[in-house]
Amino acid sequence: MKYKDAKEEIKNRISIVDVIKEYVPLKQSGSNWLGICPFHPDKNPSMSVSESRKMFKCFACNEAGDVFHFLEKYLNISYFDAVKRLAKAVNIEIDNDYQSTAEYKKNEARKEALYKLHKDVANLYYKYLHSDVGKVAYDYLTKKRKLNDKTILKFGLGYAPKNTTLLYNKLKEMGYDDEVIFDSTLFRLNDENRVVGYFYDRIIFPVVDINQHIIGFQSRTLNKEEEKTRKYLNSKTTLIFHKDNMLYGYNIAFYSKADYYILCEGNMDVITLYQNGYDNAMGAQGTAFNDKQIFLLKRKPKKIYLCEDMDDAGIKAKNHIADMLRKHNFETYMIDLNPVKDVDEFLNDSRLGKSEFVKRISGPIPSILYYAMTSKLGLDLDNPYDFEKYIDLIVTKLVSIDNSIVRENYAKKIALRENIDSNKLLNLISERLKGNSISKSDLQEIKNETKKLTLNEDSEEFKQESNFIYLIYINEEYRDKIRDIVSADDLHYEVTKILYEKYLSGVKIDSIFSEIENYDQSIVDTAKRILTYNYNYDESNTNLMKDTLNKIIRNIKINSIKSTQGDNLDNMYETNIKIKELMSKKFL
């Protein structure tokens, strides 16, 4: 079928609404459909899709066109490729009569040549990895990084040998001319007019786009002794590769059925997660996270779990990326990787591993709460200036939340976690929203209240959790049962969370203090008070102890449910039902 006729026939056979709904959630509004526009930061549905006119239009950014233009823009492909994509879906064959500009044809030919060359180069790198010249690299991946051959094949990992002439000569044997070889930027002429490779003595990570084209490479050096050698090196910008437009592993994660993406820092994090069953992970191309990468994520809007490194730079990056993503209406969560630095190390650590990671990722920390937890790092809260800075950071973050109900909910949760009086914190937020600054007297008042809660630990909820921790540590036989009853997320205080997780990992009361000696001194001191306090229990009366623990568990579960119910009437109704069920339940 002729190209022009094929376009019209495709439009007749497919529904523009059905096509766009594969990428953007749409809701019917009269005769049209509305959705969040993926082509600009959009909070309210501003894109309208008309089935009768077979067109879409955004009334905010003015992006508009037919179904082919939508795919062209959304998938970053040519208009003609969009036509071919849909033609294949409806079994229409297009005659070779399509005529375009000479420049377009030239660029398309160059792209195809680069796609083919990159595929052949990746295959050669893969073969080198499995040959004698790549033994050191192969051993590094399999023995130190614990990757199996199936994973190495899935990601096409390879090795660029020290002698780059090997690769160049092989490409010449395969029929490639110098124009496309140098167009790839994988080779250059040195001062002696000799051809040298861009990558040498490096582990190679092919970068694959959503259409499964290899478009470039990332690499990691094996030469630790040479200080001037860059540890990581990306392909240079070419007609098909722009490193700030891509996310490593996106070609796999895009097709994942999981309802969230995991955003990591390094390639090995992505690969190790995949090997452990997570096909929804991706990482930046060694660049600062940017709006172009957010656009990739918006193609299939999902929750984002941030799994960056746990050093100072990684924590700051997580908080910054979360801010960027929230502006685009993403739900953002943090994965706590303590006590190690990154997810690759976490999964390969014999003390942690996959089972512990499953627990952490099953209870991700909302990014706002994580910000409150980490913004005090490096601050001395006994210093009035540091305390002022800490409160100002929290208030500023909460003020940035537009929804007043969500803002108040977060304020209460932060107040509970950080031992701050919630009413005073809400008053500070209210004043900031009015444009008023925080007064010294307000700060002193909230500081005094914070100290009181921290030193006296007199909140009812803290007493409940302290009693719970003490009782389980002196009753080790409950460990396996309680593991399935109480989650660390049911507890609200950092110290009780830490003690509970140590208990679940098998730590006994006589060795707990050596286990936590490297934590903040305030955590250590509070833990000692919890486990050495005289609770006046008759430990010989096992039935009474069991009944007491049952009651405390019930209260902890109820408090946990109440803290997450929200203000929605349906949620409140469900919460009441759950609480009624708990009231008569025996856990042990």
Q: Which CATH number does 103-241 carry?
A: 3.90.980.10
How many Å apart are CA 246 and CA 154, to the nearest integer?
18
Q: Which CATH number does 247-372 carry?
A: 3.40.1360.10
- The answer to whether the beta carbons of residues 313 and 378 sit under 8 Å apart is no
Amino acid at 380: D
Tell me what pLDDT residue 569 has.
46
Other CB atoms within 10 A of residue 471 CB: 20
Tell me what pLDDT residue 5 has.
80
SS (H, E, C) 506-518: CCCCCCHHHHCCC
Residue closest to 340 by CA, chosen among 364, 320, 326, 357 = 357
Task: Take residue 347 and report the two structure tokens written for it.
Answer: 């999964």
Per-residue pLDDT tens digits of the chain, which is 588 residues long: 777 788 888 988 899 999 999 888 899 988 899 999 988 877 788 999 998 889 999 988 888 899 999 998 888 888 888 888 898 888 888 776 555 556 667 778 888 999 999 999 999 999 999 999 999 999 999 999 999 999 999 999 999 999 999 999 999 999 999 999 999 999 988 888 889 999 999 999 999 998 899 999 999 998 766 556 788 899 999 989 988 888 999 999 999 999 999 999 889 999 999 999 999 999 986 677 888 888 888 877 789 999 988 888 888 888 999 999 988 889 999 998 888 888 999 998 888 889 989 988 998 999 999 998 888 888 887 787 888 888 889 999 999 888 889 999 999 888 877 777 788 889 889 888 887 666 666 666 666 655 444 434 456 788 888 889 989 988 888 888 888 889 888 888 888 999 999 999 988 887 888 888 888 877 887 888 788 766 667 666 777 788 888 888 888 888 777 766 544 444 555 656 666 666 666 777
Tell me what pLDDT residue 568 has.
44
Would you list the DSSP string of 500-554?
A: HHHHHTT--TTTHHHHSTTS-HHHHHHHHHHHHS-----TT-HHHHHHHHHHHHH
Tell me what pLDDT residue 456 has.
41
Tens digits of per-residue pLDDT, 56-81? 999 888 888 999 999 988 888 888 88
Task: Take residue 569 and report the two structure tokens written for it.
Answer: 């009437």
How many Å apart are CA 311 and CA 266, to the nearest integer?
14
Domain 3-89 CATH superfamily:
Zinc finger, CHC2-typedomain (3.90.580.10)
How many Å apart are CA 293 and CA 61, to the nearest integer?
19
Residue 195's Cβ-count burial label (10 Å; 0-12, 13-18, 19+) is middle
**Residue 418, SS3?**
coil
- The answer to whether the beta carbons of residues 252 and 267 sit under 8 Å apart is no
Measure Cα distances from 488 to 337, 362, 482, 499 in Å.
Answer: 15, 11, 11, 10
How many Å apart are CA 218 and CA 237, to the nearest integer?
12
Helix (H) or strand (E) holding 195: strand 195-197
Domain ranges of the chain: 3-89, 103-241, 247-372, 375-456, 460-583
Q: Both ends of the chain: CA-CA distance in Å?
A: 72
Q: For residue 472, how far is the Cα from the chain centroid?
A: 34
- The answer to whether the beta carbons of residues 204 and 160 sit under 8 Å apart is yes
Tell me what pLDDT residue 379 has.
83
CA dihedral 283, 285, 286, 287 (to 10 degrees): -100
Give the class (CATH, top level) of 460-583: mainly alpha
In 308-374, at which residue ranges do the beta strands (DSSP E only) sit?
332-334, 365-366
Other CB atoms within 10 A of residue 186 CB: 24
Tell me what pLDDT residue 133 has.
94
Residue closest to 216 by CA, chosen among 106, 110, 108, 117 = 117
pTM of the predicted protein model: 0.64
Give the number of residues written for the chain. Answer: 588
How many Å apart are CA 19 and CA 208, to the nearest integer?
24
Taking the CA of residue 55 as centre, how many other CA atoms within 13 Å lie in the half-sphere pointing to its CB? 8
Measure Cα distances from 511 to 97, 473, 494 in Å.
Answer: 78, 11, 19
Amino acid at 201: D
